[in-house]
Amino acid sequence: MILQVALDLTDVEQAISIAEKAARGGAHWLEVGTPLIKKEGMRAVELLKRHFPDRKIVADLKTMDTGALEVEMAARHGADVVSILGVADDKTIKDAVDVARKYDIRIMVDLIGVKDKVERAKELEKMGVHYILVHTGIDEQVQGKTPLEDLGKVVKAVKVPVAVAGGLNLETIPKVIELGATIIIVGGAITKAKNPEETTRRIIDLFWGEYMLTIRKAVGDIVDHISQVAESLKIEQVRGMVDAMIGANKIFIYGAGRSGLVGKAFAMRLMHLDFNVYVVGETITPAFEPGDLLIAISGSGETRTIVDAAEIAKKEGGKVVAITSYANSTLGKIANIVVEIPGRTKTDIPTDYIARQMLTKYKWIAPMGTLFEDSTMVFLDGIIALLMATFQKTEKDMRRKHATLE
């Protein structure tokens, strides 16, 4: 969750003073409110960004027309996020998104005044907006309205982060957290408080209960998955990998991205055990020759660079061990030995895996390839434990080969 403080004031110096206190209290984003922009213009955006370069600055323009022009103005003056009205014409919103992409900033669309908020939210998501704001205005609040009912519906209807604003305070914030808001916008409860810093800190403390639940849930899910992987390991696959390693002249490890980092950690431990091991891509990596072994790590089994390396290794007369979630992938079919490390559901196929990573459509509790990479790292540590026992190596023996030039 993100705390955005709405500086709906008319004096920029007062706004900066309150923003300083809110920032010390832990506020993540600072909003240059609509009244402040109307009074001071883009100068207010520029001054806030200059004073708070380590905070996201939101320009609450509530743009209704000329989306491209106004977003560009805000971006050039330091805004990180610009608000557009949801009742604006689709072209206004699409133009705003296009300009935001050019300047690498974000668009938040405010649903204030929109009748069917759920349907409009779905339309806005398709247009590529970054955040959707469920907002109950001050005049609506006077009539006893709140954003709570609409918030829950919108959160369920879209995948983009949903912001919420409208008279929020220490009493109502726990409810919007429960309903799934990602960005919580607080104005008067902070800007009119006797001690804005303390009030901000108390709001952030409310967030941390949810933060810890999220962390614990993620850790628990990952640990449960790794336990399932350990139980599902096939003895013939693991035996094939270990036998190939013991018989190899040289061992080459190759993985891309985070899988590559897992591979490097494994290579370091093999070096500690006196294996002749190299990481593909390093400047000191020698030629691959007959009798050598390539351990290729790819969750999808379709990473082009990894597949190419496996084809070369086979052509040069060596062996390939594939560590992947998909035995029938291109890499799996090339390899002499496949070790399957489940990282996705049984219904997934490699092409879906890659598409979801590119589009960031993944299970939030285990982002992108986390389940595969974490499971592979722990599995490879298990292989190291086996090799230590096989060759009667102790931690003291391994420590002798640990890096000293650090």
Q: How far is CA 364 from the centre of its chain?
A: 8
pLDDT at 12 over 60: yes
Question: Is the model's pLDDT at 177 over the cut of 50?
Answer: yes
209 pLDDT band, cuts 50/70/90, is confident
Residue 214's Cβ-side half-sphere holds a number of Cα atoms within 13 Å equal to 14
| Mean predicted confidence (pLDDT) in 182-195 | 96
pLDDT bracket for residue 195 (50, 70, 90): very high
Look over the chain and give the mean of its residue pLDDT values, rounded to a whole number: 91
| pLDDT beyond 70 at 105 | yes
- Average pLDDT over every residue of 30-38: 97
Tens-digit pLDDT profile for residues 295-309 = 999 999 999 999 999
- Catalytic annotation, residues: 373
* Three-state DSSP class for residue 125: helix
**What is the predicted pLDDT for the residue at 402?**
80
Q: Specify the pLDDT at position 369.
A: 60
pLDDT attached to residue 313: 97
The average pLDDT across 93-106 equals: 98
Alpha-carbon span 299 to 344, nearest angstrom: 9
* Amino acid in position 251: I
* Residue 186 confidence (pLDDT) above 90: yes
Question: For the residues of 31-54, what is the DSSP string, one character each?
Answer: EE-HHHHHHHTHHHHHHHHHH-TT
Most distant pair of Cα atoms in the chain: their distance = 80
Reply yes or no on whether the pLDDT at 311 is more than 60.
yes
24-28, 53-57, 144-148, 379-383: segment of lowest average pLDDT: 144-148
Q: What is the tens place of the pLDDT at every residue in 129-139? A: 999 999 987 77
pLDDT of 364 reads 47
What integer pLDDT is reported at residue 288 of this predicted model?
97
Is the pLDDT at 391 greater than 80? The verdict is yes
Average pLDDT over residues 168-174: 92
36-77 confidence digits (pLDDT tens): 999 999 999 999 999 999 999 999 999 999 999 999 999 999
Q: What average pLDDT score do residues 230-247 get?
A: 96
Q: Where are the alpha helices (DSSP H) in 360-402?
A: 370-390, 395-399
DSSP string of 301-333, one letter each residue: S--HHHHHHHHHHHHTT-EEEEEES-TTSHHHH
Residues 6+ apart with CB under 8 A from 11: 39
Which pair of tokens denotes residue 335?
Answer: 């390899």
pLDDT of res. 368: 54
Tens of pLDDT, residue by residue over 329-375, are 999 999 999 999 988 544 455 555 444 444 444 444 565 568 899 99
Say how far apart CA 70 and CA 61 lie, in whole Å. 8
The predicted model scores a pTM of 0.74
Of the pLDDT bands very low, low, confident and very high (cuts 50, 70, 90), residue 191 is: very high
